[in-house]
Structure 1
Amino acid sequence: MQPMKFPIRSESHQLEELSERFFLDHLPNNWAAEKPANDYGVDLRVDLFEGRHATGLELLVQLKASKKSTAGESEVVRLKVATYNLLWKKLQVDMLVKFVESEKEAYWLLFKDIPNPPQDQESFTVHIPKANRLSSAPWQKVQQYVRSVTDRKLAAMRVREIEKQ
């Protein structure tokens, strides 16, 4: 009698889940993250809180993962130009995170620090400094940056509304 066959969980799915778990484990305890139903470049949407109080601030996260580290002072990520464009056009602040399984660490970079990619290519290379360890991320500074960007964008929208009147 033949043994029953069952689906196999791929290494890429396991690695993806490990990267998500690592990211969630290193967020401030009072922040909330959720996975959007449709993934068009946003792997996690993070709501930022101050104490127990909601702020209305959001951070969008694109997660990448690899089994081994990149040699040198930075982690290398291949990012689709279309994904970059989509995230760049969003009103929220965006963060790129690469989890490295062999190091049990992840590295992060805000999209504002990623140079604009050539639009005639499908993908491009992003270098995330290894100094940007997620395990020691300056979450308070990230929140301050998210607040400043959000405030500027909302102010610009309010000016446009006033000008329309």
Structure 2
Amino acid sequence: MAHQYPQRINNHQLEEVSERHFRSHLPRNWTCDKPAQDYGVDLRVDLYDDQAATGLELLVQLKSSAESTDRQNETIRLATPTYNHLWDKLQVVMLVKYVERDDEAYWLLLSEVPEPAQEHDSFTIHIPKTNVLRNIDWNNIYDHVRNVTDEKLAARRRGRLQDERN
């Protein structure tokens, strides 16, 4: 009788291919880590300004499929609790959908996704195929992350000052 060995299922392979694809399109000076616990954050990207660390982070929710879902959009299902968790993060969140057949990924910032109805367990997000990851302007993403982070930190500081005065 032949020995049996563990099987590496297609979903695990596809997950790894999608992660490799995403990492290969990042600026070379940015770092990308996979959190030990996945509660909606598949990858954490540290943004650098040339060689200098900035403290800025981009969180990534990475989905993948073997086939494309539409001609003009890629769709992903996201759990409503996951959306709520990601929405409350200080960091900017990017949704990325990798399509194996096309060897292409598409992206959308979570801030561009309408809030889902809270009575639904999950909802569908449409990512325009014009948002091709290989064509992304990472300088625009850097500026967006910087602006959003600065605004959120300023709001938190204002809230703390107000609390201290009361």
Q: Normalising by structure 1, report the TM-score.
A: 0.97
What is the CA–CA distance in structure 2 between the aligned matches of 1:150 and 1:105, rounded to whole Å? Answer: 29
What is the CA–CA distance in structure 2 between the aligned matches of 1:161 and 1:71, rounded to whole Å? Answer: 46
**Partner residue of 1:44?**
43
Q: Which amino acid in the other structure matches residue 84 of structure 2?
A: N
Structure 1 vs Structure 2 CA RMSD: 0.8
Gap runs ≥5 in structure 1: none
**Partner residue of 2:85?**
86
CA drift of 1:154 comes to 1.0
**Partner residue of 1:162?**
161
What is the CA–CA distance in structure 2 between the aligned matches of 1:31 and 1:150, rounded to whole Å? Answer: 17
What is the CA–CA distance in structure 1 between the aligned matches of 2:128 and 2:99, rounded to whole Å? Answer: 13
DSSP 3-state at the match of 2:90: coil
Q: Give 1:10-159 correspondences, 5 Å limit.
A: 10-159=9-158
CA drift of 1:160 comes to 2.1
Q: Which amino acid in the other structure matches residue 35 of structure 1?
A: K
What is the CA–CA distance in structure 1 between the aligned matches of 2:73 and 2:89, rounded to whole Å? Answer: 26
CA drift of 1:82 comes to 1.0
Q: Comparing 153-162 with 63-72, which one deviates more in the overlay?
A: 153-162
Q: Which amino acid in the other structure matches residue 123 of structure 1?
A: S
Q: Which amino acid in the other structure matches residue 78 of structure 2?
A: L
- Superposed CA offset, 1:34-55 (max 9, x none): 0001000000000000100011
Gap runs ≥5 in structure 2: none
Q: Which amino acid in the other structure matches residue 103 of structure 1?
A: D
Identity %: 55
What is the CA–CA distance in structure 2 between the aligned matches of 1:71 and 1:115, rounded to whole Å? Answer: 20
Q: Normalising by structure 2, report the TM-score.
A: 0.97
